[in-house]
Structure 1
């Protein structure tokens, strides 16, 4: 009788372990999907400063950090 109880407990522990692993994998997967995409960085053609693309100015195939650098580069 003791061996049967031991085997049942062992089987229950194994099922609990499998459920725990599945839960942890699902949680890790959801964290990966919630993470934002990294922003693309560009370099100013005038001063070589790196900044996010959404903050930069683009003109004639070049990126600039501000309108002053864009205007200086256009004059030369």
Structure 2
């Protein structure tokens, strides 16, 4: 009787672990990738697109280099 109870508990535990493992695998596959996109802006002088964090802002306009900022203001 005790052996049957132990085997039943072991079987329940194995089934529980299988479902738990499957659930983790499904969540991992469905999880969105860590793609942290950044806004792109266009250089007011040459038209090149670049990330906002790499651009130079002057008078509300974006530039790819300081030289283009100076040329555009002339």
TM-score tier, shorter chain, comes to 0.5 to 0.7
Deviations, residues 15-73 of structure 1 (Å, cap 9, x unaligned): 53x334311133236x53x7141122111011000111111101111100001111111
RMSD: 2.8
Give unmatched runs, 5+ long, in structure 2.
Answer: 1-7
Using the size of structure 1 for normalisation, the TM-score is 0.62
User: How many residues matched?
Assistant: 63
Using the size of structure 2 for normalisation, the TM-score is 0.63
Q: Stretches of 4+ moved more than 2 A in 1?
A: 12-16, 18-21, 25-29
Give unmatched runs, 5+ long, in structure 1.
Answer: 1-7
